[in-house]
Amino acid sequence: MTLKRITQQLIIKHLKNIKIIATDIDGTLTKKGEFSSQLLSTLEQLQKHHIKVILITGRSAGWCQGIVNYLPVWGIISENGGVYCLKDNQKIIPLTAIDDVVKHRQSLQHNFEYLKSQFPQLITSSDNQFRITDWTFDCHELTQEELLNIKDICDQNNWGFTYSHIQGHLKPLEQNKAKALMSLKEAYFKHLSCQEIMTVGDSPNDESLFNLDIFPISVGVNNILKYTEKLQYHPVYLTNLSEIDGFCELVKFLISNNV
């Protein structure tokens, strides 16, 4: 599949009325795993031009409650759609209904321990202790083939699973970023159409955000190209640059069109 490269002309012609950018964090807003002054400046520019930013990430509820406190964003969805937190009150609010959190986490741990029996190198992520809806393990040392084998095991056992270049996530089956974002749209932005929402990402755990039937305007930063053959859904547009450089390239075009 050939993705459309972002250009100023394309923005002017097709992407005129963006009111919200819903964006992944790791690999999309970071560079070599870190935030930068470039990110802060870009988020401030979006705020100045009245384009709201919703961060939507696989990171834990605990981490994200801290992140939303410090960045100029409207809010954050964490755990790949499990919970969210608004800038205004910073309360962690569930998006996935879990009757008994303790039993739920025990079940996730049991599933992880089974995977670990098949892949002894699996290590629980450092932020797992701050999670509510999912269980995560580090992906840095896993090959693409190993990740796909893990996905096959989870599919066979009817377990929810997704992954990025950072972490693998055992999660409720129907929990994903697109479903969570639509829940927030209905609750807070019912007046907006999906044509006014741009979704941005870089990894398989962003795939639901690229579903054209839900979000017609989606963008992948350039580093998503290493995954495109493995994805069912692809972004409509592609930045020329990778990671935060690609996101800033995109925002520069948007803002110059709105001046």
Contact 53, 40 (CB under 8 A): no
Segment 121-154, tens digit of pLDDT: 999 999 999 999 999 999 988 999 999 999 999 9
- Position 14 scores a pLDDT of 75
Segment 7-57, tens digit of pLDDT: 888 887 778 789 999 999 999 999 999 999 999 999 999 999 999 999 999
Count of residues in the chain: 259
- Position 134 scores a pLDDT of 98
Contact 170, 131 (CB under 8 A): no
Segment 159-216, tens digit of pLDDT: 999 999 999 999 999 999 999 999 999 999 999 999 999 999 999 999 999 999 999 9
Residue 79 has which token pair?
């755990």
- Position 2 scores a pLDDT of 74
Please give the mean pLDDT across all residues of the chain: 95
- Position 1 scores a pLDDT of 62
Q: Shortest CA distance to 232 belongs to which of 202, 210, 259?
A: 210
- Position 258 scores a pLDDT of 65
Angle (CA) 95-47-224 rounded to 5° is 60
pTM of this prediction?
Answer: 0.95
